[in-house]
């Protein structure tokens, strides 16, 4: 996204530096950045990928994002997608975030660890929840499987950032599981004018 963003959470703001929320409480990740604002055409593309099984869009989005990620200059070693619960994955048949994260890792020459992070319990959909409800909904929901991320710098990938609650919870789990540092990346960010119900 263009313009000034918070050095930590990546939310748009009038000037450089940390936003008010991150000055009060720094997120567990080093930095979060989003490629685009959550507007069409990317909103429509993500909807088709997630709900209409248009899985080829994952490769197309990753190819477009690769240059943006390179420009960040992050010292990433391994890419990890935010996982679905097992029930949601069985229902959908795939993790839409993985369909973007895997070709992105390949394009950038990073290792890909699809199952390093697991969602060990089901959660309610985040759609329509307030910031605090979102935080509670995903608190402690992730855990690390194995030792593949121990001592590594991880890139945690999701499709849309709204309040950052899911990425915060995922980053906390990765750090607890031995990751050296975690950077966070999303395809899009829901901006305040969109309201929380859009992500």
Convert the pLDDT of each residue in 48-80 to its tens digit.
Answer: 999 888 999 999 999 999 999 999 999 999 999
Is the residue at 183 inside a domain? yes
Residue 9 DSSP SS3: coil
- pLDDT higher than threshold 90 for residue 137: no
10 located within any domain = no
**How many structural domains compose the chain?**
1
Q: Which helix (H) or strand (E) holds 103?
A: helix 98-108
In a domain, 14, yes or no: no
Q: Examine residue 75 and state whether it is found in any structural domain, yes or no.
A: yes
Using alpha carbons, select from 22, 116, 19, 127 the residue that is nearest to residue 77: 116
Residue 175 belongs to some domain of the structure: yes
196 falls in which pLDDT band (50, 70, 90)? very low
If you write DSSP's letter for every residue of 40-100 in order, what string do you get? TTHHHHHHHHHHS--TTHHHHHHHHHHHHHHHHT----EEEEPPPPHHHHHHHSS-TTHHH
In a domain, residue 17? The reply is no
The Cα 126–Cα 22 span in angstroms is: 22
Domain CATH code at residue 39: 3.40.50.2020
Q: Which domain holds residue 95?
A: 27-198
Checking if the pLDDT of 185 tops 60, the result is: yes
Rounded mean pLDDT, 28-47? 96
Does residue 6 lie in a domain region? Answer: no
Q: Does residue 12 form part of some domain?
A: no
pLDDT at 184 over 70: yes
The pTM score is: 0.88
């Amino acid at each position: 996204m263009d313009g000034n963003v918070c050095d930590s959470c990546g939310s748009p703001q009038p000037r450089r530096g940390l936003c008010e929320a991150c000055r009060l409480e720094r997120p567990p990740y080093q930095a979060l950045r989003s490629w685009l604002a959550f507007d069409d055409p990317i909103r429509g593309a993500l909807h088709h990928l997630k709900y209409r099984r248009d899985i080829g869009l994952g490769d197309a989005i990753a190819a477009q994002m690769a240059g943006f990620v390179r420009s960040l200059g992050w010292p990433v070693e391994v890419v990890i997608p935010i996982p679905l619960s097992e029930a949601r994955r069985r229902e959908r048949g795939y993790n839409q975030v993985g369909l973007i994260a895997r070709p992105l890792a390949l394009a950038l020459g990073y290792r890909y660890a699809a199952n390093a992070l697991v969602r060990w319990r089901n959660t309610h959909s985040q759609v329509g929840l307030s910031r605090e409800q979102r935080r509670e909904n995903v608190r402690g929901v992730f855990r690390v499987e194995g030792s593949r991320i121990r001592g590594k710098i991880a890139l945690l990938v999701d499709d849309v950032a709204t309040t950052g609650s899911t990425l915060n919870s995922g980053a906390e789990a990765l750090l607890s599981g031995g990751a050296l540092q975690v950077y966070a990346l999303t395809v899009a960010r829901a901006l305040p004018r969109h309201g929380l119900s859009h992500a």
